[in-house]
Amino acid sequence: MRAEIITIGDELLIGQVVDTNSAWMAQRLNEAGIELYQITSVHDDREHILKALDEAFSRADIVLTTGGLGPTKDDITKHVMCEYFGTTLVEDSRVREHIHELYKERPDVLNRLTATQWLVPESAKILTNRVGSAPIMVFQKEIDYQPKTLIAMPGVPHEMKIAMTEQVMPFLKEKIIKKQGEIIHRTWMLYGIAESTLAILIEDWENALPTTMHLAYLPKDGIIRLRLSTYGEASNEEIEMQLAALKPLIADYLIATEDLPLETILGNLLKERQQTIATAESCTGGRLAAVLNAQSGSSAYYMGSVVAYDNTIKEQVLGVAHDTLMEWGAVSEQTVREMAEGLRALMNTDYAIATSGIAGPTGGTPDKPVGTVWIAWAMPEGTIAKCFHFGVAREREQITQRAVTEALVGLIKSLNTKH
Amino acid sequence: MRAEIITIGDELLIGQVVDTNSAWMAQRLNEAGIELYQITSVHDDREHILKALDEAFSRADIVLTTGGLGPTKDDITKHVMCEYFGTTLVEDSRVREHIHELYKERPDVLNRLTATQWLVPESAKILTNRVGSAPIMVFQKEIDYQPKTLIAMPGVPHEMKIAMTEQVMPFLKEKIIKKQGEIIHRTWMLYGIAESTLAILIEDWENALPTTMHLAYLPKDGIIRLRLSTYGEASNEEIEMQLAALKPLIADYLIATEDLPLETILGNLLKERQQTIATAESCTGGRLAAVLNAQSGSSAYYMGSVVAYDNTIKEQVLGVAHDTLMEWGAVSEQTVREMAEGLRALMNTDYAIATSGIAGPTGGTPDKPVGTVWIAWAMPEGTIAKCFHFGVAREREQITQRAVTEALVGLIKSLNTKH
């Protein structure tokens, strides 16, 4: 079963909003074994939407749209859907009651524009939007004798996610049961090897893969995800057999045999060991903290952080010696070591990671160009520090992201070797 | 002049990678007055890419593609472009030398797969990819007597951004000079009003807008961006006149007359005043710190942060009284006040913002459901604290994002009223 996504909104096409919806929806479709063929972003424009629907239905059985369902003038999706499916708007009392309930403490929102939200296309099945006023609409129709389904969802990410999870995916899964096998993906995470070097290293293995399997290299932030996929034709056993043959070739670079965020891998390792962590950050500026506590349950191992942007904070809160900063500077092995050790003592944790570097675009020197980052890992068995050069050509954002990755990978590798 | 973007890569269609490239490129095109009509994401698949090119060129003069230019098997973009433009690959000595220079300290990368990177389409103009091995290719051709341009760029975001900034945009700007007027956008940021309430409030003004102007409502994270656009037909003066008429209607909700990140607005206010800030974070977990120091130059006003995830850190580092935590709990007015005041004293700043809340999905109680967040602003004139309820239906990520927004907006409003 093949799907497409159409995201609707002028704001996407002037770059005011990054379309994060599509990737999230793509993951859900993929998990369910529905092939996503294309993602298309179009304007809040009648003809454009109609054309995109025609094109998408010429290729796919299911089209999911997001956006353009608000109550204001620029939101036209509902009207265009009515035209496309030859139906008209009617009042839906269930939706009206739901919206009244939703805004019972905000009477100002229950105005005549919001009232247009309970007008829904007569021929559509309406799914409940538990957290918003825009109804989720399911249209079903034969086009050229093929059954086609369109599901229109709001563009607000948390409304779309709840709709997808609670309503749309259960609806779609029911449709595809017995219709096809699931797509199986296995993703391994590798670190410390270039993509082309890896490709040569595993070339013979890759060439010997059965035609029912497909290999993809997905490099991101210094990590290469190696994804082996099969489309229901090969079994789980066959894919495991191939992976068993791959493992000895790449063992030196393997950091995980699942596609998990680095912080989850590290969190799981710390939880297993009942150990704790804290971070002392200069150039990463709180990003390491934010990444570590992004998941529920992180309070079991993550204690806290000090973002010591200013040198006085490095001295007064983390206890870095004034002389160290004077003699070696903030971006130095000596300083990151003292930051990590100072914080480990202050927060009484098993591990502390410290970062200090020049994220740019200014602040570089010939000795320490932009992209120079020192990272220290203070551990029960002692402190390790390492210098990285992420390159003057990279952006501030990119450099801090790479520093976060290295900080996490460094500790993951250290904990893995202790097994 | 009309453009389209095609992003190429299987990883986009299984949701493994969020397409952030398109929004960034869309902004650059928009600034240059080039209309972006559609964004399409397609598979690493010959037929799919060929079809997408055909469709895009039927609508647009310029097509920008990203992705599929790596040296591995799954990267086929270069070969498909050759087929589409009827040309073949030839060795380019300038590209070969550039790649040798790029990897001179990493001879392992200079293998036979990388060597395929200096094979380039004979008829294409090659722009330098300063930071990577994939050449940037410009194809120009008449299709149905119309001049068409295709520019293929790598999918790695920092390579694409450098290519766009240094090579592609100057090339495109030269093309469009004299061909058309620029698109003008004016974006105002509003806070504290629902979208539909706002629409009613300004309805008469909106209905009286000339047909050459277009208004869009762009709500995100509690902020509504109100964007007035004109396509070169109305002058700057006319748009300013319309905005002058709008201002008194929405003055109560206006937080900025430019579309800037909140942290930039706050940073500018603090720089003007030569004042400093620090953050004490529990539920926002370092995100407020990360947002505040995301820009170069933030060291002028941002001193540092303490992420006090664990209660002992709240006590020992921030000096929150043990009795306060026992009596009122971590998520309480008393605790955030003491966190903010403790940090302001510790880091000796003018302002300190503290957050403590229940980001979920677990940890809620009937008294303090998930989504409850206390924020305190410690200021020279005293401390203010406020409780927010971001709703049990929201995700952890969404709740922390809203808390960051409220923390920044709270201080911006406070500083604005001091003018």
Mean pLDDT of chain B: 91
Look at residue B229 in the predicted model and tell me its pLDDT.
Answer: 84
Look at residue B107 in the predicted model and tell me its pLDDT.
Answer: 81
Task: Write out the DSSP string of A268-316.
Answer: HHHHHHT--EEEEESTTTTHHHHHHTSSTTGGGTEEEEEEE-SHHHHHH
Q: How far is B20 from chain A (nearest CA, A)?
A: 6
pLDDT at A325 over 70: yes
Task: Band the pLDDT of A174: cuts 50, 70, 90.
Answer: confident
Name the residue facing B305 among A17, A307, A362 (closest C-beta): A307
Token pair, residue B368, equals: 């303090």
Cα A326 from Cα A319, distance rounded (Å): 14
Q: Which of A39-48, A151-160, A387-396, B241-250 has the lowest mean pLDDT?
A: A387-396
Per CATH, which fold does A184-256 belong to?
A: Alpha-Beta Plaits (3.30.70)
User: Taking the domains of chain A in order of start, what are their residue ranges?
Assistant: 2-176, 184-256, 262-417
Look at residue A196 in the predicted model and tell me its pLDDT.
Answer: 85
Q: How far is A21 from chain B (nearest CA, A)?
A: 9
Cα A34 from Cα A26, distance rounded (Å): 9
Is the four-CA dihedral B195, B197, B203, B205 of positive or negative sign? negative
Confirm or reject contact between B114 and chain A (CB < 8 A).
Answer: yes
Homologous superfamily of the A2-176 domain (CATH): MoaB/Mog-like domain (3.40.980.10)
Confirm or reject contact between B356 and chain A (CB < 8 A).
Answer: no
Token pair, residue B93, equals: 């000595």
Identity at A333, one-letter amino acid code = E
- Mean pLDDT along residues A37-59: 97
Tell if the CB–CB gap between A131 and B18 is shorter than 8 Å. no
Token pair, residue B247, equals: 């201002």
Cα B178 from Cα B158, distance rounded (Å): 31
Name the residue facing A307 among B185, B286, B312 (closest C-beta): B286
Cα B368 from Cα B358, distance rounded (Å): 8
Q: What element of type H or E holds A78?
A: helix A77-85
Please say whether the beta carbons of B232 and B33 come within 8 A: yes
Confirm or reject contact between B156 and chain A (CB < 8 A).
Answer: yes
Q: How far is CA A342 from CA A193, A332, A385, in A?
A: 33, 15, 14
- A44 contacts in B (CB within 8 Å)? 216
Please say whether the beta carbons of A352 and A378 come within 8 A: yes
Identity at A292, one-letter amino acid code = L
Task: For chain B, list residues with pLDDT below 50.
Answer: none
pLDDT tens-digit series, residues A369-384: 889 999 999 999 999 9
Helices (H) then strands (E): counts for chain B: 17, 17
The matching CATH number, chosen from 3.90.79.10, 3.90.950.20, 3.40.50.150, 3.30.160.100, for B262-417 is 3.90.950.20
Cα A112 from Cα A117, distance rounded (Å): 9
Tell if the CB–CB gap between A40 and B43 is shorter than 8 Å. no
pLDDT at A233 over 70: no
Confirm or reject contact between A233 and chain B (CB < 8 A).
Answer: no
| Cβ pairs A/B, distance under 8 A | 321
Token pair, residue B137, equals: 């290719």
Look at residue A393 in the predicted model and tell me its pLDDT.
Answer: 58
Name the residue facing B108 among A17, A113, A197 (closest C-beta): A197
- Three-state DSSP at A346 gives helix
Q: Which residue has the higher pLDDT, B104 or A245?
A: A245
Chain A (86-105) residues lying within 8 Å, Cβ to Cβ, of chain B: none
Look at residue A177 in the predicted model and tell me its pLDDT.
Answer: 57
Smallest CA-to-CA distance from A375 within A321, A337, A322, A324 is with A337
